Amino acid sequence: MTLPVSLLLRPLGELKEDEWCMAELTVNNYGEEPISFIKVEIFGDIEAEKPVQIDKLEIDELLSFQIKVRALNPDGVVVLKASKIEGEHVVDFMATTMKFSVRHEQGKIHKAYKRYAAHTEMVCKLCQEKIYPGFLVVHCGCNAVFHHKCVQDLTHCPACGRKW
Ligand SMILES: [Zn+2]
Ligand SMILES: [Zn+2]
């Protein structure tokens, strides 16, 4: 069953790569009963400072939150995910994808890699361990994906050797 929650993210200023910006996150319960303990997370090319936690969302209730977001790369594709938590476990969730325009800095050299928070499970090309949704990754132009922590001190891609 999909969690009957709709999510909308609206930047309150211009999104620029690597700069924090305020945004409005709207959460609505369109189901037939109140929902308790909802966590809203953002994955993909835009990150949120922290997840939004909602104790209770009544039927037809629409809540707005001001949150801080930052574009990790100019593609601007984000996955908004709402999960219903019971104890430590996610018992139900829904996810929606949105795309935003991100201003690319004039004169900024196009990077040979992208940085974003994973939204599906992947495997790191360097340590061969799993990358879970929400982990920060470095995605090289050669299509190899790494944990950010595995390659953050490297100046070249360990898979193809190109300069980052
Ligand atoms: Zn790794
Ligand atoms: Zn590479």
Given pLDDT bands bounded at 50, 70 and 90, which one contains residue 141?
Answer: confident
pLDDT of residue 87: 87
> What confidence score (pLDDT) does residue 30 get?
96
What residue segments make up the domains of the chain, in order of their start?
5-99, 113-151
Q: What is the pLDDT of residues 44-85, one digit of tens each?
A: 999 999 899 999 999 999 999 999 999 988 889 999 999 999
Residue where the block lists tokens 């900024």 = 108
Q: What's residue 110's pLDDT? A: 62
Position 99 pLDDT exceeds 70 = yes
* pLDDT higher at 110 or 95: 95
Residue 56, number of CB atoms within 10 A of its CB: 11
14-38 residue pLDDT tens: 999 889 999 999 999 999 999 999 9
- Residue 102: CB atoms within 10 Å: 23
| CATH 3.40.50.620, applies to 5-99 | no
Amino acid in the structure at residue 62: L
Arithmetic mean of pLDDT, 146-164: 95
> What H or E segment, with its residue span, contains residue 149?
helix 148-151
Nearest ligand to the C-alpha of residue 162?
Answer: 2
For the record, the structure tokens of 55 come out as 């104790």
Q: How far apart are the first and last CA of the chain?
A: 43
Decide if 83 contacts 90 (C-beta within 8 A): yes
CA 53 to ligand 1 centroid distance, Å = 29
- For ligand 1, the distance from its centroid to the CA atom of residue 161, given in whole angstroms, is 17
- Residue 39 above 90 pLDDT? yes
Ligand nearest to the CA of 156: 2
Task: Assess contact for 144 and 138: CB atoms under 8 A.
Answer: no
Q: What is the pLDDT of residue 106?
A: 66
Using alpha carbons, select from 86, 148, 73, 150 the residue that is nearest to residue 112. 73
Q: How far is the CA of 122 from the centre of ligand 2 (A)?
A: 16
- Tell me how far the alpha carbon of residue 120 lies from the centroid of ligand 1, in angstroms: 15
Share of the chain above pLDDT 70, in %: 96
Find the 145 Cα to ligand 1 centroid distance in Å.
9
Distance in Å, CA 146 to ligand 1 centroid: 5
